[in-house]
Amino acid sequence: MIERYSTPQMTAVWSEQRKLAVWREVEILVVEAWAQLGVAPETTAASAAKAPEVDIVAWKEREAITHHDVAAFVDLLAASVGDGGEWIHYGLTSSDVLDTASGVLLKESGELLLEAVAELFDTVKEKALEYRDTVMIGRTHGIWAEPTSFGLKLANWAFEVERDHERLVDAVNGVSYGKISGAVGTYAHTPPAVETYVCGALGLNVEPASTQVIPRDRHAHFLSVIALIGSTIERFATEIRHLQRSEVGEVRESFGKGQKGSSAMPHKRNPIASENLTGVSRLLRGYASAGLENVALWHERDISHSSVERVALPDATILLHYALVRMTRLIDNLVVDTDRMLANLEATKGLVYSQAALLALVDSGLTRDEAYRLVQQNAMMTWDGEGTLLENLLNDPDIPLAEEALTSCFTPTRALRNANTVFTRLTSTVLA
């Protein structure tokens, strides 16, 4: 992933230095396991543990000869051990190292993502509670609907982030697996005790039945959850972009001193972060598609998945982490124009209270169809510029309601009188 869309924390997880360090750790743990089983000399395990990190430049030079990254790594690590170097990679196939190390890196990256999702949840929750009583227009199909509150909109977002967290916990657990079972997963040259020792030391689960590789449905699930979280971020970003439109103007991204919205038009304050995150989510869905394509491999394995994962796994986790951090910052610094929200609500001329008037007429004894037609014909007059809905209803001789009863329908607090139930649930919600 390019530096522009990266965070230092996640980039460090996927650095080549970190990758080689984990490969080394896997190899040394295998030697230790052989020593504990009495197969390798105890002194070999101690010597292997003292081996230096494999030099990246030397590794790449060696790979240019071997055309095999793990074989090149094993050559250099074994040579650095000296006496006993022959026990490095003993009984292993490359995927034992690659997939087990990948389990470590996926677990580490997943834990960073979980922290970022939790921070986003806390930020959205805090804003939801802050704006719980800030009334605004609700919109369906992009058209004025019932009144709502900005806090209620954000509460809905917060619960979606909570679900994302639950899904991600499951997905991270699903990729935190290792395997040391040999060339086709039969343990023919390495007993299960070695696998148990290595995976236990690394904090990984043991793959219950592997081929030469860990089944790729695990990785597909992980990438799919990442894509789904990206879609959550896009949902928020899309709403912010709509609310920032000049004609709406209820919410906008913060605009820093010295910032420029357009190289040509000095008045512009564009929703650049939201638009950026909308694009990022498209990439994340692409990685999920690639992960699904990786599930079907030939026989016990091929390497068609390898090139995909070298790009998709680091890029998807790095990009999602960037997106989570940026969305959290965006919401934390969001500018909310409560006066504009109220002005826009008043500009509806009471149309958003049509359902309250409808139900009041039904309560008065009219059939639903009679009540609907009466309110609708007065609402259409209002749409066409003839007074407010309340005025038109009061002037309609066919409306069997007193002025006080009708007027009581046209208050936003009435529309939100039961919404506190949502905030009670939100207040008590804490991520596991």
Q: What domains can be seen in the chain, in order of their start residue?
A: 1-90 (1.10.275.10), 342-427 (1.10.40.30)
CA separation, residue 3 to residues 8, 46, 105, 278, 321 (Å):
9, 39, 19, 18, 13
At residue 428, the pLDDT reads 95
Per-residue model confidence as pLDDT tens digits over 151-203: 999 999 999 999 999 999 999 999 999 999 999 999 999 999 999 999 999 99
Which residues have a catalytic role annotated? Answer: 141, 262
Q: What is the pLDDT of residue 1?
A: 78
Distance of CA 330 to the CA centre of its chain: 15
First to last CA, the chain: 30
Beta strands at 143-149 and 135-140: parallel, antiparallel or unpaired? antiparallel
Report the Cα 412 to chain-centroid distance in Å.
34
Amino acid code (one letter) for 344: N
Give residue 298's region: left, alpha or beta (phi > 0; psi -120 to 50). Answer: beta
Tokens of 340: 């504009």
Instruction: Give the H or E element holding residue 201.
Output: helix 192-202
Beta-strand (E) ranges in 83-164?
Answer: 135-140, 143-149
Angle formed at CA 49 by CA 36 and CA 74, multiple of 5 degrees:
95
CB atoms under 10 Å from CB of 343, counted, come to 12
Low-confidence ranges of the chain (pLDDT < 50): none
Q: What is the dihedral of CA 302, 304, 310, 313, to 10 degrees?
A: -90
pTM of the model: 0.94
Residue 369 CB coordination number (10 Å): 9
CA distances from 184 to 30, 190, 277, 301, 310 (A): 18, 11, 42, 8, 22
Q: What is the pLDDT of residue 341?
A: 97
CB 172 within 8 A of CB 203: no
For residue 143, count other CB atoms closer than 10 A to its CB.
8
